[in-house]
C-alpha cells in the first residue's frame, strides 16, 4: 500500500493494523479534536503519538511507509526490532495476557524454505526449552503463523559483551573474571543436559542491568548424546561456528565436537574482553580458522601488562589447541576463576546499557536495519554469522595444503642432495 498522504489515510492504516482498539483510538482522536490539536499531516500525528507513548517509532515508521501488516507475531505485538542475523531477526514484543515483554526470534522467510535452517530453528526451540539456569536464556513459546516461524524467548534488558567492549574498551580483570565465570556456569548446565553450544562469542553473551550474564542463541547447538541429532552431517555442513572464536577441532568436523570446543570459544571470548580484539583480528575467514589450528595469538599481557600471569594462564589454558590440554568441563573453569570472583562487583553503568524506543519512551533511537515479518515479503539485509561450509571442511583443506607443502619440501631436499653428490 502507498504511504499515507493524509491523516485519514494514516488512520485507515492504523485501524487495519489492529495496533489500537477502536474505542481507544476514538478516545485519542476525540481528545485531540476537543483541544483543537489534531495534526493535519500524518508524520506530525505519528510524532505526537510517539511522544505520548501510544505508538513506538517502529510502529509509526511502518504505518508511514504504508504498511499495516507485520506488527504481530502470533499472539505478540511487535514494539521494536532489537537484533538481526543470518538465522533470524529478534523483536521486542508485548504479550497482552499476561502483560509482559518478550524477545521473539523470527526465522527469515527465505530460511523457512531451507530444510536445514528450518530444522535447526526448531532444534534451537527444543534446546532452549529444556534449559533452566540463571545464566541461560529461557524459552517461553514456539509457533507458526502462516509462513512465519517464531520462538518467544526471555527478554534481556541489556547489551552484549561484544557491544560493550567495542563501545567502551576492554574490561577490567574483576569484570572479565565474573562474566566469564557466569558464562561457564551456564555452559556447565547445558553440558549436564547434553548440549554443546558451538557458537560461543561476545555477541552471544548478554549482560543485563543487574550484572547477570545470559548465554543466548542456540541456533547451532547440538545434543551430543542424541544419535539422531545429525543435522550437520545430514546437510553436509562441515564447519559451523564463527571464525573469530571457532575451536581448532570444530573447523574439521562440527558434528563430533564436545563441550571442550565451547571452552575454547569462551577462552577466545575472554581474550576479546581483555584486549578489545579477537585472537586473530586480521585475514580472511579461512585464514582465521586455520590460524586457530596452527598459530598462537599475540600474548594477552603484551596488550594488558596489568593482568597477573596466573589469570592470563587460565584464559590461555581454555584456548589450548589440544582438547586434552584445556579444562575438561565448564565447572573446572568456574573453579579456576574463583580466586578473582570472591568479591562482588557493581552492576554495569547506565551508559553501557541500551536505550531502546518503547511505548512511553519517546525520543530514543531505534535499532538500525529492518527484517520483514509479513508473509508476502522476503527478508532483507541478512548477514550470516557462521563460517560458510564448503564442499570440504576448512580444516581438511588446511591439512591437504600442509601435506602438499611437505611434499614440495621433500622434493627440494632430494634435489639438493642429488646435486651435492
Known catalytic residues are 199
Q: Angle, to 10 degrees, between the axis of helix 57-64 and the axis of helix 7-17?
A: 120
Residue with cell 514494539: 79
CA angle 416, 417, 421 (to 5 degrees): 115
Q: What is the Cα–Cα distance from 144 to 291, expressed in whole angstroms?
A: 41
**Residues in CB range of 49: below 8 A, 6 or more apart:** 28, 55, 60
CA angle 37, 38, 43 (to 5 degrees): 120
Nearest C-alpha neighbor of 242 from the set 399, 72, 394: 394
Nearest C-alpha neighbor of 158 from the set 355, 403, 306: 355
Instruction: Tell me the three state secondary structure of residue 65.
Output: coil
Q: What is the Cα–Cα distance from 185 to 213, expressed in whole angstroms?
A: 10
Residue 312: all three cell numbers together: 592470563
Amino acid at each position: 500500500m502507498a504511504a499515507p498522504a493524509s491523516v485519514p489515510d494514516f488512520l485507515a492504516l492504523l485501524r487495519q493494523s489492529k495496533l489500537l482498539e477502536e474505542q481507544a483510538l476514538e478516545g485519542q482522536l476525540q481528545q485531540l479534536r476537543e483541544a483543537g490539536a489534531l495534526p493535519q499531516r500524518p508524520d506530525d500525528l505519528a510524532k505526537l503519538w510517539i511522544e505520548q507513548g501510544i505508538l513506538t517509532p517502529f510502529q509509526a515508521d511502518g504505518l508511514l511507509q504504508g504498511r499495516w501488516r507485520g506488527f504481530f507475531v502470533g499472539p505478540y505485538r511487535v514494539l521494536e526490532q532489537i537484533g538481526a542475523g543470518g538465522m533470524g531477526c529478534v523483536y521486542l514484543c508485548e504479550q497482552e495476557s499476561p502483560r509482559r515483554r518478550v524477545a521473539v526470534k523470527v526465522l527469515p522467510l527465505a530460511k523457512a524454505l531451507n530444510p536445514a535452517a528450518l530444522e535447526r530453528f526448531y532444534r534451537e526451540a527444543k534446546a532452549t526449552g529444556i534449559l533452566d539456569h540463571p545464566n541461560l536464556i529461557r524459552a517461553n513459546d514456539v509457533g507458526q503463523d502462516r509462513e512465519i516461524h517464531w520462538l518467544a524467548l526471555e527478554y534481556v534488558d541489556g547489551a552484549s559483551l561484544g557491544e560493550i567492549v567495542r563501545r567502551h574498551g576492554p574490561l577490567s580483570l574483576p569484570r572479565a573474571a565474573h562474566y566469564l565465570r557466569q558464562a561457564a556456569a551456564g555452559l556447565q548446565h547445558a553440558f549436564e543436559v547434553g548440549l554443546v553450544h558451538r557458537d560461543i562469542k561476545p555477541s552471544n553473551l548478554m549482560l543485563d542491568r543487574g550484572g547477570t550474564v545470559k548465554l543466548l542463541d542456540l541456533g547451532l547447538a547440538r545434543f551430543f548424546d542424541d544419535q539422531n541429532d545429525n543435522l550437520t552431517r545430514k546437510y553436509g555442513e562441515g564447519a559451523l561456528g564463527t571464525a573469530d572464536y571457532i575451536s581448532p577441532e570444530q573447523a574439521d568436523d562440527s558434528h563430533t565436537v564436545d563441550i571442550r570446543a565451547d571452552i575454547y570459544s569462551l577462552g577466545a571470548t575472554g581474550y576479546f574482553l581483555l584486549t578489545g580484539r579477537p585472537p586473530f583480528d586480521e585475514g580472511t575467514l579461512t585464514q582465521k580458522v586455520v590460524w586457530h589450528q596452527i598459530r598462537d595469538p599475540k600474548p594477552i599481557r603484551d596488550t594488558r601488562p596489568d593482568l597477573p600471569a596466573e589469570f592470563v594462564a587460565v584464559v590461555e589454558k581454555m584456548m589450548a589447541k589440544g582438547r586434552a590440554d584445556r579444562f575438561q568441563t565448564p565447572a573446572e573453569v568456574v573453579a579456576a576463576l574463583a580466586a578473582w570472583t570472591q568479591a562482588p562487583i557493581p552492576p554495569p553503568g547506565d551508559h553501557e546499557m541500551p536505550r531502546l524506543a518503547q511505548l512511553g519512551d519517546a525520543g530514543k533511537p531505534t535499532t538500525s536495519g529492518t527484517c520483514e515479518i509479513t508473509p508476502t515479503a522476503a527478508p532483507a539485509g541478512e548477514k550470516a554469522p557462521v563460517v560458510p561450509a564448503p564442499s570440504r571442511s576448512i580444516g581438511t583443506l588446511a591439512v591437504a595444503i600442509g601435506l602438499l607443502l611437505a611434499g614440495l619440501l621433500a622434493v627440494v631436499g632430494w634435489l639438493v642432495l642429488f646435486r651435492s653428490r
